[in-house]
Amino acid sequence: MFVYSFRLSTVKFIVVATLSVAALFCLVAFVPTYPDDSAATSAIVYSGVESGEDCAEFVRQFGWEIGETPVEEKSVTAPETFDETYETYNELQKKQGLSLNRYKGKEVTRYTYRITNYPDYDGTVYVNLLVYKNRVIGGDVGSAEAGGFIHGFAKAE
């Protein structure tokens, strides 16, 4: 068995330490930054939804106008495991910066309001808000007609 030992002089130690700090500085200074995809949703306030007026304020953040009272207010339980339909719906939520995965098996309140200012569409359009402990955790905008459309809270482009 051989044992090797190295003795590092003070000058060599200072040179190695200086090069290490310089390399770290270069990494921090020259690593590219990428735009934050969630920056657009960071201005949206999802908490403090306790009443119908709070729901209306939340929806107005996206430019929608809704009726005074909900068409439906219902307590629903998210399933423990998501089937294909729920997975697809959760993908819609993820696109708008939300996720229903944390709320599996939880009882949430679904508020449904009629949108009164949906552009270029003559049919009935609703917005659904899923609220858990005074916080919007998900939802959608969709038409009432069969074969219609559904999208996130933001206006479709």
The boundaries of the domain holding residue 143 are: 45-151
Q: What is the pLDDT of residues 86-97, one digit of tens each?
A: 999 999 999 999
Instruction: Quote the number of domains for the chain.
Output: 1
In a domain, 26, yes or no: no
Count of alpha carbons within 13 angstroms of residue 37, beta-carbon side: 5
Predicted local confidence at residue 134, as pLDDT: 94
pLDDT band at 155 (very low <50, low <70, confident <90, very high): confident
More confident residue, 96 or 37: 96
In a domain, 20, yes or no: no
Q: What is the pLDDT of residues 95-147, one digit of tens each?
A: 999 999 999 999 999 999 999 999 999 899 999 999 999 999 999 999 999 88
In a domain, 19, yes or no: no
In a domain, 125, yes or no: yes
CB 58 within 8 A of CB 46: yes
pLDDT band at 78 (very low <50, low <70, confident <90, very high): very high
pTM above 0.85, yes or no: no
Coil, helix or strand at residue 91: helix
